[in-house]
């Protein structure tokens, strides 16, 4: 039958589970056969149907349509042969009772409120039960005050304000989206003494600066608003009342008042139409050039008493229930090694691009794996597919599940593979670099829907073509593309459900998706993130939804069935080396700057500035000393050698390993990434424990690498820098030791 089936595949015929079941007693299927079986179940048309159904109503945490979606997901998995359980948690999740925003000077004008529907977008006219624009976990409050424009509202912006003698104490700040994570803006504002915070979507970022305004293009329309969470996830994500433990019904809880991740000042996100009413009236000195956005007026700092805003927010803080849908195919040979794959299913309003375009790709994979299962295939390792609830407010579902099952995951999970939406264009993969080679091989096997080339070739061509168009590009990626190598995996920060896995539990993780040609930025977290928007501007026909299922499904198949996990450590060691090089450059640059800064005086700034916008001297800071990096450098050298030895030995002897060698190798590689966890966690935020990557304290989503060391240098905590360098050195030495022990098995 094998020949027949293969002929069917070659002819593009769908292969039914019935046909395959005939082979279930034959020798195990090869990789190509399994992949073909998976692909045969992936249907873009079917994804269109799922997307349409799941985006038909508001699907935020706790909404009826979201609960119905969970039931749909559960039902599908069960139909496809998976074992399904729910993992429910009780979380603190505020929803707005009332939001008030009005300009009270120099004129009175009501601002804010729900976004308007448009005729071309069906669900935008059906908003019953939809959340109005707000940000979750701000503080309740009712304030009236003058307004100060603070650019992105990040630390450098407050330094620029301080040098001009502008304070936000007692004021309401207005920040534009971008530059760093949303939640940092009200957090830093309240630390600076502001009593309220507005965040607006500047059109330069995701409005007409990026695309025609929806519905003429995918760009954010004038009245579009970006909802989101402002939970202080840099301290810890998940339910704010149960840090470090699962938010089960009887877990010990903090109170809302004592939870450090809940902010204190009222905050609202607003549209650029509303922002224009405020910003265009501000007085004061003009802002620096790089503070200007795309609105058609001259941006100024504001702060004077004549432009005032009234901002009031009141939320319902009663506990809410969330429900993850956890589906499993149990492993045969290595049941206690888990390949975990996930995507969240809750959105902010209709959630078409974010998250359902990823969830439906995951459903296609699950259907394909289910078909294989029904055909008699049994994965060697256990496969766990998780559909997370409550990602949007604070990675609630995934974090609580990881916290509840922490010990088991640290022991059993060999990888977590995340998606969180998808679009047209180029494959992007970030995460644990020991899986870079696997990602590269899978990308070489899947065809790009638009060009017919492989996804890997298209990525390489894209990097090279863009580099020649003068677009900014990563030099390492360009070098890899020029050499025909694998796409280098960037470090993971935060912003999706891999966070608890990689940063808290030490489970190596990947995050992937296609993008770069869609226009979903303009609908992000608004009522316009709809089926109509998605199929018109983001991934028409869901061709890339199908491609994503093929890529992620192949990864899961390979990982679940490999006798020995397809790990290659050269890219990981190389990444560690480049992170240290960057930090050395940072220290050198800082030292040169500090030297020059020492020669600057208030008098130079008085003479050198435009008197209309006087600058004081740069804030005094302790000069950067040399940091003791020798131990860390030596540890990375050891890791590089260990990686070369392992990768070389696998390449030479991998095909000829005995079963007992394979078992010994698996045993020694299992949990190797636990070596990367710092025993004490990172400074200021012990929940984050990975010494190689973390979301930046002052970037939020963006990753910092060797974060304990790097952030200590950046923030001039030089004692911390020396200590964190030592912690990282011990971790990497431990990693090299474990790797050498594994290599010993096969050499």
List contacts with a copy of itself (CB under 8 A).
203, 208-213, 217, 219, 286, 288-290, 292, 294-298, 425, 448, 450-451, 453, 457-458, 461-466, 468-471, 482, 516-517, 596-597, 599-600, 603-612, 615, 618
For the bound state, the minimum distance from the C-beta of residue 605 to a copy of itself, rounded and expressed in Å, comes to 5
Which has the closest alpha carbon to 398: 498, 320, 250, 491? Answer: 498
Query: Which residue's CB is nearer to a copy of itself, number 140 or number 457?
Result: 457
Query: Which residue's CB is nearer to a copy of itself, number 448 or number 486?
Result: 448
d(CA 686, CA 672): 21
d(CA 172, CA 110): 16
Query: Which residue's CB is nearer to a copy of itself, number 618 or number 686?
Result: 618
Query: Which residue's CB is nearer to a copy of itself, number 406 or number 615?
Result: 615
Query: Which residue's CB is nearer to a copy of itself, number 158 or number 350?
Result: 158
Query: Which residue's CB is nearer to a copy of itself, number 333 or number 461?
Result: 461
For the bound state, the minimum distance from the C-beta of residue 425 to a copy of itself, rounded and expressed in Å, comes to 7
Instruction: Provide CB contacts within 8 A for 611, sequence distance 6+.
Output: none
Query: Which residue's CB is nearer to a copy of itself, number 79 or number 159?
Result: 159
Query: Which residue's CB is nearer to a copy of itself, number 246 or number 488?
Result: 488
For the bound state, the minimum distance from the C-beta of residue 204 to a copy of itself, rounded and expressed in Å, comes to 9
Query: Which residue's CB is nearer to a copy of itself, number 328 or number 454?
Result: 454
For the bound state, the minimum distance from the C-beta of residue 207 to a copy of itself, rounded and expressed in Å, comes to 8
In b/e form, how buried is each residue of 200-227, taking b as 16+ CB within 10 angstroms? bbbbbbbbbebbebbbeebbbbbbbbbb
Query: Which residue's CB is nearer to a copy of itself, number 207 or number 708?
Result: 207
Instruction: Provide CB contacts within 8 A for 397, sequence distance 6+.
Output: 87, 89, 322, 323, 324, 344, 346, 388, 389, 390, 391, 497
Give the alpha-carbon dihedral of 584, 587, 591, 593, to 10 degrees: 110
Contact 345, 355 (CB under 8 A): yes
For the bound state, the minimum distance from the C-beta of residue 284 to a copy of itself, rounded and expressed in Å, comes to 12
Helices (H), 385-435: 391-394, 396-404, 406-412
d(CA 650, CA 654): 4
For the bound state, the minimum distance from the C-beta of residue 247 to a copy of itself, rounded and expressed in Å, comes to 43
Contact 667, 147 (CB under 8 A): no
Q: What are the CA-CA distances from residue 62 to residues 70, 118, 393, 456 (Å)?
A: 11, 26, 11, 40
For the bound state, the minimum distance from the C-beta of residue 484 to a copy of itself, rounded and expressed in Å, comes to 11
For the bound state, the minimum distance from the C-beta of residue 568 to a copy of itself, rounded and expressed in Å, comes to 26
| Entry field: residues in the chain | 747
For the bound state, the minimum distance from the C-beta of residue 353 to a copy of itself, rounded and expressed in Å, comes to 18
Contact 586, 710 (CB under 8 A): yes
Burial group, residue 183, by CB count within 10 angstroms (0-12, 13-18, 19+): buried
Provide the β-strand partners of residue 385. 327, 341
Contact 41, 364 (CB under 8 A): yes
Query: Which residue's CB is nearer to a copy of itself, number 211 or number 706?
Result: 211
d(CA 263, CA 229): 11
For the bound state, the minimum distance from the C-beta of residue 424 to a copy of itself, rounded and expressed in Å, comes to 8
For the bound state, the minimum distance from the C-beta of residue 538 to a copy of itself, rounded and expressed in Å, comes to 13
In b/e form, how buried is each residue of 117-149, taking b as 16+ CB within 10 angstroms? ebeebbbbeebeebbbbbbbbbbbeebebbbbb
């Amino acid at each position: 039958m094998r020949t027949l089936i293969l002929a069917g595949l070659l002819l593009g015929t769908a292969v039914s589970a019935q046909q395959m079941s005939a082979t279930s007693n034959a020798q195990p299927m090869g990789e190509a056969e399994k992949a073909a079986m998976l692909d045969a179940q992936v249907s873009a048309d079917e994804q269109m149907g799922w997307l349409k159904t799941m985006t038909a109503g508001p699907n935020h945490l706790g909404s009826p349509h979201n609960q119905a979606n969970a039931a749909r997901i559960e039902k599908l998995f069960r139909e496809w042969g998976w074992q399904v359980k729910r993992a429910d948690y009780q979380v603190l999740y505020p929803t707005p009772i009332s939001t008030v925003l009005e300009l009270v000077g120099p004129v009175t004008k009501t601002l804010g409120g729900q976004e308007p529907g448009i005729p071309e977008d069906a669900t935008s006219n059906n908003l019953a039960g939809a959340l109005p624009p707000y940000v979750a976990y701000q503080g309740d409050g009712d304030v009236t005050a003058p307004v100060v424009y603070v650019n992105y509202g990040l630390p450098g912006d407050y330094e620029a304000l301080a040098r001009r003698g502008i304070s936000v104490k007692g004021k309401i700040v207005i920040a534009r989206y971008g530059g760093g994570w949303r939640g940092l803006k009200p957090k830093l504002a309240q630390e600076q003494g502001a009593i309220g915070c507005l965040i607006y979507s500047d059109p330069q970022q995701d409005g007409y600066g990026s695309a025609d305004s929806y519905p003429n293009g995918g760009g954010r329309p004038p009245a579009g608003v970006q909802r989101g969470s402002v939970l202080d996830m840099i301290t810890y994500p998940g339910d704010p009342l149960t840090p470090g433990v699962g938010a089960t019904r009887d877990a010990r809880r903090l109170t809302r008042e004592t939870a450090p991740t809940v902010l204190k000042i009222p905050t609202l996100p607003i549209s650029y139409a509303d922002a224009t009413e405020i910003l265009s009236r501000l007085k004061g000195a003009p802002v620096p050039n790089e503070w200007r956005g795309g609105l058609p007026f001259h941006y100024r700092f504001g702060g004077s008493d004549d432009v005032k805003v009234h901002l009031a927010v009141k939320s319902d803080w009663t506990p809410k229930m969330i429900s993850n849908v956890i589906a499993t195919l149990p492993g045969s040979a290595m049941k206690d090694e888990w390949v975990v794959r996930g995507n969240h299913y809750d959105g902010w309003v209709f959630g078409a691009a974010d998250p359902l375009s990823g969830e439906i790709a995951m459903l296609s994979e699950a259907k394909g794996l289910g078909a294989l299962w029904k055909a008699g295939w049994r994965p060697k390792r256990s496969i766990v597919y998780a559909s997370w609830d409550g990602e949007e407010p604070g990675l609630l579902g995934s974090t609580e599940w990881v916290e509840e099952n922490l010990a088991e995951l640290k022991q059993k999970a060999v990888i977590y593979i995340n998606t969180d939406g998808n679009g047209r264009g180029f494959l992007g993969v970030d995460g644990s670099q020991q899986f870079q080679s696997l990602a590269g091989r899978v990308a070489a096997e899947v065809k790009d829907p638009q060009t017919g080339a492989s996804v890997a070739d298209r990525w390489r061509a894209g990097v090279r073509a863009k580099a020649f168009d003068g677009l900014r590009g990563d030099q390492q990626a360009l070098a890899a593309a020029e050499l025909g190598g694998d796409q280098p995996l960037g470090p993971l920060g935060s912003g999706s459900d891999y966070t608890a896995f990689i940063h808290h539990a030490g489970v190596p993780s990947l995050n992937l998706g296609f993008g770069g040609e869609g226009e979903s930025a303009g609908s992000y977290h608004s009522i316009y993130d709809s089926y109509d928007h998605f199929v018109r501007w983001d991934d028409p026909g869901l061709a890339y939804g199908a491609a994503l299922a093929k890529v992620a499904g192949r990864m899961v198949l390979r990982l679940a069935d490999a006798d020995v996990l397809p790990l290659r450590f050269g890219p990981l060691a190389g990444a560690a080396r480049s992170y240290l090089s960057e930090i050395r450059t940072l220290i050198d640059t800082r030292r040169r700057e500090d030297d020059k800064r020492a020669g600057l005086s208030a008098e130079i700034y008085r003479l050198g500035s435009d008197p209309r916008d006087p600058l004081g001297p740069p804030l005094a800071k302790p000069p950067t000393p040399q940091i003791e990096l020798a131990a860390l450098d030596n540890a990375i050298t050891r890791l590089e050698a260990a990686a070369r030895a392992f990768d070389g030995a696998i390449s030479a002897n991998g095909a000829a390993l005995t079963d007992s060698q394979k078992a010994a190798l698996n045993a020694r590689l299992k949990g190797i990434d636990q070596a990367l966890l710092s025993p004490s966690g990172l400074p200021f935020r012990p929940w984050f424990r990975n010494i190689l990557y973390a979301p930046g304290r002052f970037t939020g989503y963006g990753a910092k690498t060797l974060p304990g060391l790097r952030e200590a240098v950046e923030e001039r905590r030089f004692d911390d820098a020396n200590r964190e360098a030592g912690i990282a050195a011990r971790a990497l030495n431990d990693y090299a030791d474990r790797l050498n022990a594994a290599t010993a098995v096969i050499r």
